[in-house]
Structure 1
Amino acid sequence: MPINNSNEIIAFHTIKDFEGESFFIPDYQRGYRWTEREVLDLLNDWNDFYENNRDGSYFMQPIVVKKRPDDDSWEVVDGQQRLTTVHLILQALNKKSAYDIKYAVLDNSSNNVADIGECQNTGDDINLYYMKQAYKMACGWMKGEEAKAFGADEGQKKKNLSNFIFNKIRFLWYRADLVDDSPGEKIFQRLNIGKIELTQSELIKALFLSNDNFTGDAVNRKEEFARQWDEFEAMFQNDEFWYFLTDGEGADSPTRIDFLLGMMTEIHSDMFEQKEISRENLDSRDGLFRAYYSVFRKNREQFKRIWDCAVDFMDIMRLWYEDVDMYHLVGFRVIDRESIPNLIKAWNGKVVSDFMTNDLVGPIVQRYIDDFDAQKTYGSSDTNGGWKDRKSEARGVLLLSNVLQVLRQNKSHEENQDYTQGIFYKFPFHLYKKQKKGSGYGWDVEHIASATDNDLDSVQDQREWILFAYLSLTDENRKEFNKAHRKSLCTFFSNETKSAGSGEEGVFSKLYESLTKYLGVNPPQPMSREEKNRISNFVLLDSATNRGYKNAIFPTKRLHVKDKERGRLRFAEWNKVKQEIEIREKDVKSAFVPPCTKDVFMKAYSNVVNNSMAWTAPDAAAYADYLTDLSDWFKEKYCPNN
């Protein structure tokens, strides 16, 4: 019998529903090209499914169709390979197919495809050749052990498989002409360029746009829904908004509104059938669509209320994104493994101040602020005199410090009568999360002063120190230094140079002494191992940069951090031909540098900068004081009664 409710945009249909229908495969599609391997994979998948779930429905990928007005048949825009394969398998079961298929590229195709087993000279047409191979594969499969779930003998197998195909296989039916008046070829190109199939959200959108949802003067409501949907998708496509809300998973999907649709099943589970929103079902193919489709079929008014709630949730998330306090606190809580659905549940039914106190500020203070101690050592000595490193435990408080520094700057501008403005600069959660996603590494807790002492004993470290010190000189100082030490430099950068104080009468020591005078620096007091493993000697640094310079000296790290942000590296190197140090620049891959990290290497927290070539104990103390003050500010600002 013909398809019931054929004017529905989307439906699930069994093969039995297709009885009496005719399908036309236009010439803009490639012909039938499924190989024996693909047919075998489908049959084996059916067997596995039937063995474990005999009463369940097996869902096939969508068939996209348009109604052909001239003969009342269906133009298949997408899905013809699947539709034809099922047609051929039924013939292998000695069952005449419930439906008819005609290929524009095949003469007398309706008769040939309907009885491929009797079709002669299939080698004359590539389409018929592949169809005959698929048919033979199905016939052989039925006789083998691979079809054992359907029965012990061939007769039983054919009976059970026929019943399974007619009644349990469900095609997702999508009438493209009811939502898109483009020619079938245009729709086909959109679906198949880059092999992009209809996403679940596109199918759900079609349900919401169904004409059954809009009667009478509700045309304006339909247009409003379409506008809202496009607006929300555009918001999610904005990486700043997307990464503020998520960990980035799903960023590569052509549609990101799936995040909102999935969130609805979690927050308003009472509006869906419980079995449809089980984790197992939602994680399965087309599971999200089936959850919405179930409500669509049974309760249209409830289905429309789901969208009204989704609009409310978008308003909440937009408010959070645009408010300076909410943006930074919600953004940090999400990184700290709190979910947006949980925060929205907490938001509903509360006044804003209670939500801020109980669900944003409270957990941050309890986990990070109350226990903050700038003198805490992140590690301990083991019984063998080694060091058990625990610096990764500082990652959360370091990230929080970066977020709070930006928030504090914003609040300062907001309270300045000359500005009286809100967001001056947002902490870029999208850059922080993209670094982890893009590099495959993420973020390291990096020692500012190297964890292991660098006494500049090796020639490599000595040369590195000389080059970076030279880079820090003024142009006038460089000229004087080159003139006074040209011979020593030539000796020092030759291959024969050994460690300072041996072989070359301490050439490095002389160069070191001269450069420190120009720079006005003195050798820093060494830090203990405990001091080097405190928060005052830690910063957040992207792993690629950190692992690139390894155990480098402080000025090397500073230069890498500064230049990595701008994507242009300035460096000094020895020119063997000219026999002199040259300053050069080159393009490098840029990276996001957290604000506190940048300020540390620029020594912005230090009260007095006495040594630009090392991270000193006074620098560390000033940094620790700043972090302590930042924690105190946050607690006083947002927890005044505690």
Structure 2
Amino acid sequence: MTATTLAGGALEPRLVGKIGGKFYVPSYQRGYRWGEHEVKCLLDDIAASDGQPYYLQPVVVKKIDDGRWELVDGQQRLTTLYLILGYIRKHLPAARREYTLEYQTRAGSAAYLEDPVEQLRGQNIDFFHIYEAAELIRTWFESQDDPAMAAVNFYKALSEKVHVIWYEAPDDVDARTLFVRLNVGRIPLTDAELVKALLLSRARRPEEVAAQWDSIERDLRVPEVWSFVTGRTGEEPTHISLLLDTLAGGPRGRERPLFYTFDRIRELIEQTSPEDVWESVVDLHSLVQGWYDDRGLFHWIGYLVATGSRFEDLVVQADGKAKDVFNVELRAMITDRLGLTETALRDLTYEQHYRQASRALLLMNVETVRSWEHSHERYSFRAHAAGSWSLEHIDAQSAETLNKAEQWSTWLQLHKAALVALPDLDPEQRAALLSRIDHAATELTAHAFHAAEEEVISFFKRATGADGDEVHSVSNLALLGREANSALSNSVFAAKRTAILQLDRTGHYIPACTRNVFLKYYTASDAQQIHFWGPQDRASYLEAMVHVLADYLTPEGAQHE
């Protein structure tokens, strides 16, 4: 559903023990269908909350003229809670159940909820699920060490700690339309949607807040903005949630309680005002845009986020600091994140230091682009976040990972094209190699492919003079696009060069240093062999790497954790 659906409605956390009134379940909803998994999860989660505040999914209602509540969303939860309270009352007669449920089209269900007996369970599908749930609840309580005390403690939790997010839809919202929006794809209300509804219902100028909210959401949905500040692609339902979660603080990931952000921001609104809280959100948005617009901050922060830093931690780091001080701290953080001396950088290998080599080459690309003071080009953290790049050999020495006929065919065609393009190759040698490639492509068996592959690889290996140790060195590694298929990843330099330059010509994003490698940018003009990646190329590339990363290398002998 869209966030604007919530505008104008009454919204609050409500203790289960405070839920009261008559709930009417209209005909557009199906009957009660929760099974063992859902019922047991509800019981286990509330018990595991151990007296701490706990929030269930929203209950969405709309007031009917006769005083009843039309239950738009939350039937399954309220029904299960009703059955739980029914069991508790057997051990604790004083326990109160302040609400009732009635159904437009399922006569008898309301009465059966009061006493779900086994004899009637087969009368209809609703009775069956109600009875099964009641039995699951009974079994769960009876499995506790002291069922009576468990019932008392559970009732205490429902009365004092367990809330639903209560949302009362405004009069002008069509209940059926709201139900459809809530249930298409089972999209739940999010913290952001709940916070928006709360702000709009309490702000002095809700129209202004609504307009700013939409503007901020649009800004954060710009792919490069979102990826540089989060390290993710834009798959979340709302992006302003980044700012709201940061403002709320608290636990992260799986440790974060349901609706924690909403509850915390509600408290902030009550402690200050809706205007103060909203101004804090606007300030965070301005901070993001300021970082994005600053070329240096964009690249430094983007690198740190791409390698594990969190936006909220960087906000804390920047708080109250002058820009030049923050810049110095960011560069120090990057040095710490890289964690390499010059010697360690030169010794990086694919097999032993994959993560460090990846970070080093990412920083080399980021710093190379950042240093172009008169260019509008930026490193694409969106492409990085999408998983577009992997650490690959510039000049591969084996295609052993290829195991499909389609991959073999592509590999053979790439290397046939590379051999055709090679100058100064003995005509007879070229013809012989091409003939064996054509034979392997026609037969296309594992034996035929690997025989041709071994001969082609051996030829290029002799031509470059590379030995086995150099193959996995950082001087033979680059960030290559995963859109280039596995056959290309396992190809020699000449084949990769042709394919990558074609991708570049057609507008695909190629990391700057990868493009430079295949354009022989780092190799002196008098030492270039355009179709091979030889020892001189590797040495020049490595020296360029050391030069670009010099300001971020740890001094030799310095301690680094």
Report the TM-score, using the length of structure 2 for normalisation: 0.77
1:15 counterpart = 2:16: yes
Q: Is the CA contact 1:24–1:101 (under 8 Å) kept in the aligned structure 2?
A: yes
Shift in CA distance, 363/472, structure 1 to aligned 2, threshold 3 Å:
same
Aligned match of 2:222 in 209, 214, 238? 238
Shift in CA distance, 325/547, structure 1 to aligned 2, threshold 3 Å:
same
Task: Report what 2:4 is aligned to.
Answer: none
1:82 counterpart = 2:47: no
Task: After superposition, give the CA deviation of every residue in 1:198-231 in whole Å (9 maximum; x if it has no partner).
Answer: 1112112222222xx33xxx3xx22121122222
The within-5 A match list for 1:363-382 is 363-364=333-334, 371-372=341-342, 376-378=346-348
Shift in CA distance, 44/348, structure 1 to aligned 2, threshold 3 Å:
closer
Shift in CA distance, 631/252, structure 1 to aligned 2, threshold 3 Å:
closer
1:430 counterpart = 2:423: no
Task: Report what 1:614 is aligned to.
Answer: 532
Letter of the structure 2 residue corresponding to residue 557 of structure 1: K
**Partner secondary structure for residue 86 of structure 1:** helix
Shift in CA distance, 354/245, structure 1 to aligned 2, threshold 3 Å:
same
Percent same amino acid at aligned positions? 27
Matches of 1:170 and 1:335 in 2, distance apart?
37
**Partner secondary structure for residue 256 of structure 1:** coil
Task: After superposition, give the CA deviation of every residue in 1:318-356 in whole Å (9 maximum; x if it has no partner).
Answer: 011122232222212322434333333343333333333
Deviation, structure 1 residue 195: 0.8
Q: Is the CA contact 2:351–2:472 (under 8 Å) kept in the aligned structure 1?
A: no
Aligned match of 1:597 in 514, 527, 530? 514
Q: Is the CA contact 2:418–2:495 (under 8 Å) kept in the aligned structure 1?
A: no
Matches of 2:437 and 2:121 in 1, distance apart?
81
Aligned match of 1:399 in 358, 362, 369? 362
Task: Report what 2:497 is aligned to.
Answer: 558
Task: Report what 1:317 is aligned to.
Answer: 288
**Partner secondary structure for residue 541 of structure 1:** strand
Matches of 1:10 and 1:98 in 2, distance apart?
20
Select between 485-494 and 601-610 the one with higher mean Cα deviation: 485-494
Q: Is the CA contact 1:201–1:258 (under 8 Å) kept in the aligned structure 2?
A: yes
Task: After superposition, give the CA deviation of every residue in 1:299-328 in whole Å (9 maximum; x if it has no partner).
Answer: 243x54232122112111101112223222
Matches of 1:126 and 1:232 in 2, distance apart?
47
Task: Report what 2:393 is aligned to.
Answer: 447
The within-5 A match list for 1:201-600 is 201-210=192-201, 213-214=202-203, 218=204, 221-248=205-232, 251-266=234-249, 277=250, 283-297=256-270, 299-301=271-273, 304-356=275-327, 358-364=328-334, 371-372=341-342, 376-378=346-348, 389-390=352-353, 392-409=355-372, 411-413=373-375, 424-435=376-387, 443-444=390-391, 446-450=392-396, 467-472=416-421, 493-494=438-439, 524=463, 526-527=465-466, 535-542=474-481, 545=484, 548-549=487-488, 552-563=491-502, 592-600=509-517
Letter of the structure 2 residue corresponding to residue 340 of structure 1: F
Letter of the structure 1 residue corresponding to residue 137 of structure 2: A
Shift in CA distance, 163/624, structure 1 to aligned 2, threshold 3 Å:
closer
Task: Report what 1:169 is aligned to.
Answer: 162
Q: Is the CA contact 2:397–2:492 (under 8 Å) kept in the aligned structure 1?
A: no
Shift in CA distance, 133/560, structure 1 to aligned 2, threshold 3 Å:
same
Deviation, structure 1 residue 103: 1.0
Aligned length in residues: 521
Matches of 1:314 and 1:534 in 2, distance apart?
42
Letter of the structure 2 residue corresponding to residue 91 of structure 1: G
Q: Is the CA contact 1:391–1:533 (under 8 Å) kept in the aligned structure 2?
A: no
**Partner secondary structure for residue 85 of structure 2:** helix
Select between 557-566 and 369-378 the one with higher mean Cα deviation: 369-378
Shift in CA distance, 77/471, structure 1 to aligned 2, threshold 3 Å:
farther
Letter of the structure 1 residue corresponding to residue 497 of structure 2: R
Task: Report what 1:501 is aligned to.
Answer: none
Deviation, structure 1 residue 72: 1.4
Shift in CA distance, 41/394, structure 1 to aligned 2, threshold 3 Å:
closer
Q: Is the CA contact 1:22–1:100 (under 8 Å) kept in the aligned structure 2?
A: yes
Q: Is the CA contact 2:11–2:165 (under 8 Å) kept in the aligned structure 1?
A: yes
Deviation, structure 1 residue 606: 3.1
Letter of the structure 2 residue corresponding to residue 263 of structure 1: T
Deviation, structure 1 residue 106: 2.5
Matches of 1:599 and 1:243 in 2, distance apart?
24
**Partner secondary structure for residue 209 of structure 1:** helix
Q: What is the root-mean-square deviation in Å for CA atoms of aligned residues?
A: 4.5
Matches of 2:551 and 2:45 in 1, distance apart?
61
Task: After superposition, give the CA deviation of every residue in 1:275-303 in whole Å (9 maximum; x if it has no partner).
Answer: xx356996122222222233344x243x5
Select between 618-627 and 425-434 the one with higher mean Cα deviation: 618-627
Task: After superposition, give the CA deviation of every residue in 1:551-602 in whole Å (9 maximum; x if it has no partner).
Answer: 53221332343456678xxxxxxxxxxxxxxxxxxxxxx9753121122123
Shift in CA distance, 324/369, structure 1 to aligned 2, threshold 3 Å:
farther
Shift in CA distance, 372/75, structure 1 to aligned 2, threshold 3 Å:
same
Structure 2 gap ranges (5+): 1-7, 401-408, 443-451, 554-561
**Partner secondary structure for residue 396 of structure 1:** helix
Q: Is the CA contact 2:102–2:109 (under 8 Å) kept in the aligned structure 1?
A: yes
Q: Is the CA contact 2:54–2:257 (under 8 Å) kept in the aligned structure 1?
A: no
Shift in CA distance, 107/532, structure 1 to aligned 2, threshold 3 Å:
closer
Q: Is the CA contact 2:369–2:378 (under 8 Å) kept in the aligned structure 1?
A: yes
Letter of the structure 2 residue corresponding to residue 561 of structure 1: I
Matches of 2:253 and 2:530 in 1, distance apart?
58
Shift in CA distance, 102/375, structure 1 to aligned 2, threshold 3 Å:
closer
Larger Rg: 1
Letter of the structure 1 residue corresponding to residue 513 of structure 2: C
Deviation, structure 1 residue 65: 1.0
Deviation, structure 1 residue 543: 6.1
**Partner secondary structure for residue 284 of structure 1:** coil
Letter of the structure 2 residue corresponding to residue 284 of structure 1: P
Higher relative contact order (CA 8 A, sep 6+): 2
Deviation, structure 1 residue 549: 4.7
Q: Is the CA contact 1:374–1:624 (under 8 Å) kept in the aligned structure 2?
A: no
Letter of the structure 2 residue corresponding to residue 412 of structure 1: H
**Partner secondary structure for residue 101 of structure 2:** strand
Q: Is the CA contact 2:393–2:478 (under 8 Å) kept in the aligned structure 1?
A: yes
Task: Report what 1:571 is aligned to.
Answer: none
Task: Report what 1:104 is aligned to.
Answer: 104
Letter of the structure 1 residue corresponding to residue 346 of structure 2: K
Letter of the structure 2 residue corresponding to residue 376 of structure 1: R
